[in-house]
Amino acid sequence: MTLRPPLDGVRVLELGSTVAGPAACRLLADLGASVYKIEPGDGDQLRTWGAIAPDGTGWWFKSHNRDKQLLTFDLRNADDVATVVSMALACDVVVENFRPGYLARLGLDAATLREKKPELIYLSISGYGQTGPYADRPGYGSIAESMGGLRYITGESDGPPMRMGISIGDEIAALYAVVGVLAALHGRARDRIGETIDVSLIESAFSLLQGALPEYAHAGHVARRTGNTLNSAAPSNVYPTRDGEWLAIGGNGQGIFRRLVTAMGQPELADDARFASNQGRRRHVALLDELIGAWTKTLDLADADAILAQAGVPAGPVMSVAQIVANPQFRARNAVVYARDDDGTPIATYASPVRFTERPLKVERAAGAIGRDQAAALEELGLRQQ
């Protein structure tokens, strides 16, 4: 017997734009929730980001906002605001990522809505959180990654701070936000009371610094940029291969390091006093990386990868999106799925990384035209436009 998706029956109102709020709602939709996405008349600005499809909407937007019901309201119009308030009260969860204070002027803030409906779960995602001296500032993921410490430790040791290549600050905030919503749904089922959830981008980024905080607090060590190596363990880096590719190798465990150097044909390195412990390998990481790189450059990527896989050493090629799509592991796991566009065209998107056995998840519709689901969604909620 196939059971319904875990969040089937949960209604979510999305008052979000661009990345973080919509990402959180996409994950909730993946888990089966009904998500009602509110856009202004000219649409979420993410519609214009990146490569644009023939219909004028960005491919990223179509994927990022899949399986949501799309509605459009003007929050400067009192009648539209009244309808959105009614929608919020008909839902289980409200997700918003406006600057703190904006929605309070419209009666769409947590305090106002939860006074009317105490069981409502209200999630706010913002750059700096709902409190503190920076709360009123506009915040983007790029700023959060900088102020939260991620960019300070990203890049080559002699180079400038660098971004990761994606909006990691937004994406990790969305993940924390979903964790909060799921916990609040569980708490509400037990206590019959909703929750107000406050997630900030800067704290989400800061939380990813791993050992940097305790090492600074207790040892005075300030983590700095180290390129592709780890601050805490060695060897771990990407190494060039004969055919011009790159192979990531993590040989930073005692047993794994011995297996690595044995696969390299240099088992004596495991007993070298310089490399016999993790701290020794950290001190001599430049020499160690030079030795490993000299070995990988004698082999093509596929051969080096196969040798290390056989030896039980964590390793894998540095792959582009084109290589990922063709990779047998990703293909076997159906990591790329397709959502139907408004005209039936299949749009490539990411399968949920969360796999359920009893309650399988599926992706169905890409995000399409602004206001596409206006009438049907309002009818589903038992409402009509003011």
> What element of type H or E holds 78?
helix 78-90
Q: How far is it, in rounded angstroms, from Cα 87 to Cα 295?
A: 62
Q: Where in the chain is the domain with CATH 3.40.50.10540?
A: 11-207+332-380
Give catalytic residues, as residue numbers: 170
Q: How many CA atoms lie within 13 A of 305 on its CB side?
A: 16
Q: Does the pLDDT value for residue 230 go beyond 90?
A: no
Residues of the chain with CATH 3.30.1540.10: 236-240+246-317
Q: pLDDT-derived band of residue 2, with 50, 70 and 90 as boundaries? A: confident
Would you say residue 347 has pLDDT above 90?
Answer: yes
CA 322 to chain centre: 20
Check residue 194 and give its pLDDT. Answer: 98
Lowest mean pLDDT among 12-21, 37-46, 225-234: 225-234
Q: Taking residues 83-89, report their average pLDDT.
A: 98
pLDDT at 245: 97
> What separation in angstroms does the CA of 151 have from each of 141, 154, 187, 196, 208?
11, 5, 36, 30, 11
Q: What's the CATH number for 236-240+246-317?
A: 3.30.1540.10
> CA angle, corner 151, sides to 149 and 59, nearest 5?
120
Q: What is the mean pLDDT of residues 184-190?
A: 98
Residue range 11-207+332-380 in CATH 3.40.50.10540 = yes
Q: What is the pTM of this model?
A: 0.94
- What's the confidence (pLDDT) of residue 1? 74
